[in-house]
Amino acid sequence: MSDNAISPRTLKDRLLLPLPTEDFELEFRVVARGGVRRGIRLERAFWVSLKQMAESRKCTIGMLVDEIAESHAEKGNLTSAIRVACIRESGNENLNLRKLASITTVNAILL
């Protein structure tokens, strides 16, 4: 079977919505915490995710990056660890929202 046989024809049928090109652009930022300055280059989407994580925890991006760096110190690549932390956070949030919106939860609220 070729990819052409299953390719979506309309936006509604696509698996993913079009991704804005600016989300792929790398941004360099200096993150400081406790006298340690780290230069980090990440895609904009990950900076947005880090900001949301920090806001939900009532902390700074620097505090989050410091925690990620400490927990992954011997594993090397900090930017990879940050990306994984962002994806895990999004996955956990998605799972929690799915549980809240589940038919079981809705029935428990209504009945």
Q: What pLDDT, on the 0 to 100 scale, is given for residue 39?
A: 95
Domains, the chain, with CATH or none = 14-110 (1.10.3990.20)
pTM above 0.95, yes or no: no
Q: What is the CB neighbour count within 10 angstroms for residue 83?
A: 18
pLDDT at 16 over 70: yes
Separation of alpha carbons 44 and 28, rounded Å = 9
pLDDT at 8 over 60: no
pLDDT digits (tens, 9 = 90+) for 39-95: 999 999 999 999 999 999 999 999 999 999 998 877 779 999 999 999 999 999 988
Separation of alpha carbons 100 and 105, rounded Å = 6
CB 65 within 8 A of CB 50: yes
pLDDT digits (tens, 9 = 90+) for 22-43: 888 899 999 998 888 999 999 9
Asked whether the CA dihedral 75, 78, 82, 84 is positive or negative, the reply is negative
